[in-house]
Amino acid sequence: MAVRRRSSRIEESAWVAEVERAVADGGASEESARWRRQCIYRVPACIKDLNRKAYQPQVVSLGPFHHGEPQLRPMDAHKRRALVHFLRRARRPLAELAAAVAGAGQRLEGAYQGLGDEWRGEEEERFVELMVTDGCFLLEVMRTASGWEVNDYAPDDPVFSPHGLLYNVPYIRRDMLMIENQLPLLVLERILAVETGKDENEELINRMVLLFLSPTAWPPVIGDGLALHPLDVLRRSLLYGPTPAPRAPPASSSAPPDDIIRSAEELYEAGVRFKRSATSSLLDIRFHRGTLYLPPIAVDDTTEYMLLNLMAFERLHAGAGNDVTAYVFFMDNMVDSARDVALLTARRVVHNTVGSDKAVARLFNGLSRDVVLEPQSALDDVHREVNAYCRKRWNRWRANLVHTYFRSPWSFLSLAAAVFLLVMTVMQTVYTVLPYYGNKQS
Estimate the crossing angle of helix 357-367 against helix 323-334, to 10 degrees. 130
> Does the pLDDT at position 23 exceed 50?
yes
Q: How many other CB atoms are there within 10 angstroms of residue 93's CB atom?
A: 11
Tens of pLDDT, residue by residue over 146-190, are 887 778 899 999 999 999 999 999 999 999 999 999 999 999 999
**What gap in Å lies between CA 303 and CA 308, rounded to an integer?**
9
Name the pTM for this structure. 0.84
Question: Which is more confidently placed, 155 or 428?
Answer: 155
Q: What are phi and psi of 99, to 5 degrees?
A: -65, -40
> Taking 60 as the threshold, does the pLDDT of residue 103 lie above it?
yes
Q: How confident is the model at residue 256 (pLDDT cuts 50, 70, 90)?
A: very low
Of 241, 235, 262, 248, whose CA–CA distance to 376 is shortest?
248
Segments making up each domain of the chain, as ranges: 46-201, 264-398, 408-441
Question: Is the pLDDT confidence value at 253 over 60?
Answer: no
Task: State mean pLDDT over 427-434.
Answer: 70
State the virtual CA torsion across 200, 205, 206, 211 in degrees, nearest 10: 140
According to DSSP, residue 40 is labeled B
In degrees and rounded to multiples of 5, residue 222 shows phi and psi of -120, -30
**What sign has the CA pseudo-torsion 310, 313, 315, 319?**
negative
Residues contacting 270, CB < 8 A, separation 6+:
262, 389, 390, 395, 396, 399
**CB of 105 closer than 8 Å to CB of 120:** no
| Residue with the larger pLDDT of the pair 385 and 5 | 385
Does 413 or 379 have the greater pLDDT score? 379
pLDDT of residue 7: 59
Higher pLDDT, 260 or 76: 76
Q: What is the pLDDT of residues 192-247, one digit of tens each?
A: 999 998 888 999 999 999 999 988 776 666 767 899 999 999 999 999 876 666 55
DSSP alpha helices (H): ranges in 120-229?
124-145, 162-167, 169-175, 185-196, 202-213
Q: Mean of the per-residue pLDDT values for the chain?
A: 84
What percent of the chain is predicted at pLDDT more than 90? Answer: 53
Q: Give pLDDT, residue 29.
A: 59
